[in-house]
Chain A
Amino acid sequence: MSMTSTEIASRLAEIAGAANVASDPAQTAAYRVDGKTPAAVARPGSSEEVAGIVKFAAAERLAIIPTGARTKLGIGMPPRQYDLALDMTGLDRVVAYDPGDLTLSVEPGITLRKLESVLGEHKQFLPLEVPFMDRATAGGTIASGVDSPLRQLYGTARDYLLGMEFVTGDGVATKSGGRVVKNVTGYDIHKLMAGALGTLGVITKINLRTFPMPRMTRTYVATFRWANGACEFRHAIARSHLRPQSIEIIAARDSSLLRLDDRPEALFDKGRWSVLVSAAGEAGVLDRYRSELETLARGADRNALESFTELSDADQERLTSYIREFPALAPKASQPAAILKISALPKSLVGLAEGIRSMAIKHDVPWAVMMRGVGVTYLALMARDQSAESLRHLKDACSSALRCCVERMWGRGVMLWCPPEFKREMNVWGESSSDFALMQKLKNVFDAHGIFAPGRFVGGL
């Protein structure tokens, strides 16, 4: 980059208006990614402005990171270059909402809370119960690929994403998919954009399928003495006819890590494995869930079951928000902490639980784990205190956990969050897979100049 930040800002001001551009370090600091601060921030108000900014950046070879509420910028490797933050919160409109069709078209900067209230008026919702729920935007949520406990029943965003508009690295506005719930017209390029961490393009519009909001939801908790009972319970549910909307197995071995001051005490006692199951439906249906889940929990491992409870409304709300935020425990923790996401298969969860326990004991770090019913697992690791020694223990535990993913076949592992300095020696994405060459070629198609978040994604994409 040969331009000064003032020059960049003045060119950006021509495109997006001076009021929507900043190069003052006091303002750009808020857009820092892994220690790198951009020279300028632009907050476009339309997709035309986005295209204009990208064209300018491509010509000047300025590296762009699109941002929403800036809650998940810690994910990924440090950018190789970062000149310009593209603050997308100015594009926050509902473009179209057809409750009768259960379809929605929004700009990426709209917050999930805002969407919740728009959809709630028509008793509809999006099954995106994701971390940072109070601030997160639709665009950031989909681009970062964070998942939701509700995926047990609804799948992930890629399953209800109908189409997208986006600006590619040459500043061209493009689209794929459509706005109807069933469509096979053209290639599903929008599926690539979901979870690409902004490395392929800047999302300017998102078309989604919405869902009728269940009238009533209940959460049940079965607490087991050991992991085997909890996993057996999960398998028993999978073999039954029940269709819960979420299943989470949680073990929290250190309450300081989890800041669970207001937790329902019994659930997270040291050494216990709790299974949280939530179901939706009418009263009669929920009665059946309660009795059948209890029977399944007792059958899973009678000796290991300590309790089976139906949560009160207040506890349900607390626990729902707890499991929703779990994947983001690390950036919210008071001590240095890390989150490892592991793609595991349901049947391997018992072995994984045991492996995690012995690894954490060996490295002497506080830990907690949340294993979703579909197998995707989040392991939280934390330093005991701020000391250099504790930090070193944490780092060793992180490296060891990533290694176990490969060597012990825990499943593909990604260090979702960790102290940025760890990334100097650690590839947070783990090993690349055999299809990486195709990913590289696709990256070149979308972003020939390598201006979109260079280096942040898998394999340095």
Chain B
Amino acid sequence: MPANETRQSTAIDSRLLRDLKKLLGKDGVLHKPEDLLLYEYDGSVEVARPDCVVFPRTAEDVVGIAQLANRHKIPLVGRGAGTGLSGGAIARHGGIITSFARMNRIVEIDADNQRARVQPGVVNADLSTAVEHLGLHYAPDPSSQKACTIGGNVSENSGGPHTLAYGVTTNHVVALEIVLPSGELVHLGSTALDAPGYDLTGLFVGSEGTFGLVTEITVKLTRLPEAIKTLLAIYDSIDDATETVAEITARGITPAACEMLDGWTIRAVEDYVHAGFPLNCSAILLIDVDGLREVAEAEAKDVEDVCRRHRAREVRVARDARERDLLWKGRKNAFGAAGRLAPSYYTQDGVIPRTKLPATLRRISEISKKYGLQIGNVFHAGDGNLHPIILFDERNEKQFRDTIRAADEIIEFCIQVGGSITGEHGVGMEKDRLMPLLFSEADLNLMRRVRDVFNPTGLLNPGKILPDSKGCGEIYVRPQPASAAPPA
């Protein structure tokens, strides 16, 4: 059912509101319509209004919130910074949004064991900053890392450019403290590795807020590399760039990151960030190699060699940290740049086997021509994770419909070549309808029953991942501000 319908049916009970205020204090609850506006959105194109937003400070508060939500049979949704790109933190069917903004403490840094214990509201980049003086960092680095929270990252199993070599969130989370929708507090996993029993931590990470609310996370910290080399390879043809990526992979070189931007995106970014990208090219690759000094130097040479063999017009190597940061700033702000050029944009998040990159980009270009829509490409080329950005004006109804069609056609092609419908943004309320393209009814049924173990009433983050709210395919659109949260 459409979100607006359910919203009315779950108008908040005054007793519930009173109980929540009693639990969290007056400043711990928002319920006036004007206060709720901000919480209708995340970084995607989805919109739905919660009935109230609450701000717990402790795990006990979260237990209390869950108990109240359970007693009042009202949906409960967790929320970090709201930078998600699939509607994971949106109250699709109304209810209580639990914002972790006030649970943002780094509880413990254990440098000797390379672990950190954090509350869910800790901003991703803040953890890396806090451990930098120890020569450590938290490796997963979504492009929104200056805003997004680790709790949100856990829910979405977030990636980022450097997950190519370092792995995604699930590879770095060892233990969790969670609150089940029943209000029960449970510990999963352990600080030491290989706790006996089923890998519940591995199951939980990426469950998109449908299993439990995370109240504490224990992560691995990774040693910072001794040396990083950042290369910028410039191409006159997209095919040459994609073939470079395929050969880097085939040669057994694993860069720390390997990102591609096409000509249109480069010009949009350059106009906005002034990263020093050339304006008259068809594609660039932004590649990081790192590790021991000797390793980084040798790999940089190998990568440069492959780039040149595939007709790179020019290969620049960043001379210092400042140059490197500028290049990366260009990449990480690409989506913000796109937001300046059209009233709205839609970002797809398909994954393909890396050898299929050239064919897939050609297909995207055909789709762009077919619908007369501008599609920019900026993505994690090294692991085949595409982020085509389709620009549109939502006031033009036909263009909006075409946008959705074009996005679907891209995803269908990804599936056709052996890929997947989301690499790091999540299924959420955006792609639940696409799940049957990849999974059988039996597969989905098992997933439903697994979810029911944690969330038997279905009131925790309802309407996400699994297509069980049939007919819920609407996509809501809003104008994108220029500062739209960039995807990973």
Chain A residues within 8 Å of B, Cβ to Cβ: 98-103, 123-124, 145, 147, 155-156, 158-159, 168, 172-176, 178-189, 191-192, 194-196, 200, 212-213, 235, 238-239, 241-243, 281-282, 284-285, 288, 341, 343-347, 374-376, 411-412, 414, 429-430, 432-436, 438-439, 441-442, 445-446, 457-459
| Neighbouring B residues of A341 by C-beta, 8 Å | 194
* B438 CB–A CB distance under 8 Å: yes
Set of chain A residues within 8 Å of B206, measured between Cβ atoms: 184, 187-188
Instruction: Assess the A100–B249 pair: CB atoms within 8 A.
Output: yes
Out of A375, A376, A432, A442, which one reaches B450, CB within 8 Å?
A: A442
Chain B residues positioned under 8 Å from A99 (CB to CB): 250
Assess whether B353 is in contact with A179, with CB atoms less than 8 Å apart: yes
Q: Which 3 A-B pairs have the closest CB atoms?
A: A212-B252, A191-B202, A241-B226
Q: B294 to A159, Cβ gap below 8 A?
A: no
Whether, in the assembled complex, B331 has its beta carbon less than 8 Å from a beta carbon of chain A, the answer is: no
- Could you tell me if B423 and A180 are in contact, using CB atoms closer than 8 angstroms? yes
Asked whether A191 lies within 8 Å of B292 as measured between CB atoms, the reply is: no
| B99 neighbours in A (Cβ, 8 Å) | none
Contact A184 B423 (CB under 8 A): yes
Q: Given the complex of chains A and B, what is the CA–CA distance between A442 and B450 in angstroms?
A: 7
Q: How far is the CB of B452 from the nearest CB of chain A, in Å? A: 8
Interface size on B, residues (CB 8 A): 84
On whether the beta carbons of A438 and B453 are closer than 8 Å, the reply is: yes
Interface string of B371-392 (1 = CB under 8 A from A): 0000000001001110000000
Contact at B167–A412, with CB atoms within 8 Å?
Answer: no
The answer for the CA separation of A241 and B225 in the assembled complex, in Å, is 6
Given contacts A186-B447, A243-B292, 12 further A-B pairs with CB under 8 A are: A175-B443, A182-B383, A183-B351, A184-B159, A185-B435, A187-B447, A187-B465, A238-B114, A241-B225, A374-B193, A375-B192, A429-B196
Q: Are B355 and A100 in contact (CB under 8 A)?
A: yes
A103 to B354, CA, bound (A): 10
Closest to B437 in A: A185
Q: Measured between alpha carbons, how far is A200 from B202 in the docked complex, in Å? A: 15
A180 contacts B420, C-beta separation under 8 Å: yes
With contacts A186-B447, A188-B206, A346-B112 taken as known, whether A433 is within 8 angstroms of B195 at the C-beta atoms is yes
With beta carbons under 8 angstroms apart, the residue of B159, B195, B419 that contacts A412 is B195
A84 to B249, CA, bound (A): 44
Which of these, A123, A176, A435, A436, contacts B447 with CB under 8 Å?
A176
Q: Which residues of A contact B294 (CB under 8 A)?
A: 281-282, 284-285, 288
List, in ascending order, chain A residues with CB within 8 A of B351's CB.
178, 180-183
> Contacts A98-B353, A180-B419 given: A186-B200 contact, CB under 8 Å?
no
Q: How far is B16's CA from A97's CA once the two chains are assembled, in angstroms?
A: 56
Complex formed: what's the CA distance from A241 to B227 in Å? Answer: 9
A185 surroundings in chain B (CB, below 8 A): 420-422, 427, 431, 435, 438
**CB distance B199 to A194 under 8 Å?**
yes
B196: chain A residues within 8 A (beta carbon)? 343, 412, 414, 429-430, 458
Chain B residues whose CB sits within 8 angstroms of the CB of A155 once the complex forms: 167, 171
Contacts of A459 in B (CB 8 A): 197
B167 to A195, Cβ gap below 8 A?
Answer: no
> B residues within 8 A CB of A343?
190, 192-196
Contact call A180/B427, Cβ cutoff below 8 A: no
Tell me whether B205 is interfacial, beta carbon within 8 Å: yes
A241 vs B352: C-alpha distance when bound (angstroms): 33
CB distance from A327 to the nearest CB of B (A): 11
- Shortest C-beta distance, B181 to chain A (Å), equals 13
- For B139, the chain A residues whose CB sits under 8 A away are none
For window 137-175 of B, CB contacts with A under 8 Å fall at 156-157, 159, 163, 167-168, 170-171
| CB <8 Å contact, A178 and B425 | no
**When the two chains form their complex, are residues A435 and B197 in contact, meaning their CB atoms are under 8 A apart?**
yes
User: B194–A180 contact, CB under 8 A?
Assistant: no
Answer whether residue B113 sits at the interface, using C-beta atoms and an 8 A cutoff.
yes
B10 beta carbon closer than 8 Å to chain A: no
Contact B446 A174 (CB under 8 A): yes
Tell me the minimal C-beta distance from B444 to chain A in angstroms. 8
21 A-B Cβ contacts within 8 A? Answer: A98-B355, A102-B249, A124-B252, A180-B352, A180-B419, A182-B385, A184-B424, A185-B422, A185-B427, A186-B465, A189-B450, A195-B199, A235-B112, A238-B223, A284-B294, A284-B298, A341-B194, A343-B192, A345-B115, A435-B188, A435-B200
**Interfacial chain B residues near A103, Cβ < 8 Å:** 353
